[in-house]
Structure 1
Amino acid sequence: MNRRKKGIQILKARVKKANAKLSTQTKPKYISKVQRARLDTTAIENDPVTAETQT
């Protein structure tokens, strides 16, 4: 690989990293299985309509 190509490759990588850092996050935050289970149980306990139908 010649010097010019290597220099361009490095600069493109730098620009790509900078753009990725500036872009907004569209991916939702990861929630573990345990946290999802807790959220489900609290949602069931707080909602009396579904709690009555399940029992």
Structure 2
Amino acid sequence: MNRRKKINQLLKAHAKKASAKLAPKNRNTYISKADRLKLAAEASLGAEQATADSASPTQP
């Protein structure tokens, strides 16, 4: 491989990495397993309270 081809290859690789860095991120942020369990517990607790509130008769 000659010198010009190597330099062009390196420049293309650097340009590709730079444009990839500027591109919008498609992935969601990582949520740890403990945080997911905590969020699920809060959601289920909120759902239980909502059903308990709607099931109990309100007094005027």
User: How many residues matched?
Assistant: 49
Question: Which aligned segments of 4 or more residues in structure 1 are displaced greater than 2 angstroms?
Answer: none
Aligned to 1:13: 13
What TM-score comes out, normalization by structure 2 length?
0.72
Q: Which amino acid aligns with 1:35?
A: D
> Which has more radius of gyration?
2
Verify: 1:22 aligned to 2:22, yes or no. Answer: yes
CA RMSD of aligned residues (A): 1.0
Unmatched segments (≥5 aa) in structure 1: 50-55
- The structure showing larger relative contact order (alpha-carbon pairs under 8 Å, at least 6 residues apart) is 1
State the percentage of identical aligned residues. 47
Residue 23 of structure 1: CA displacement?
Answer: 0.4
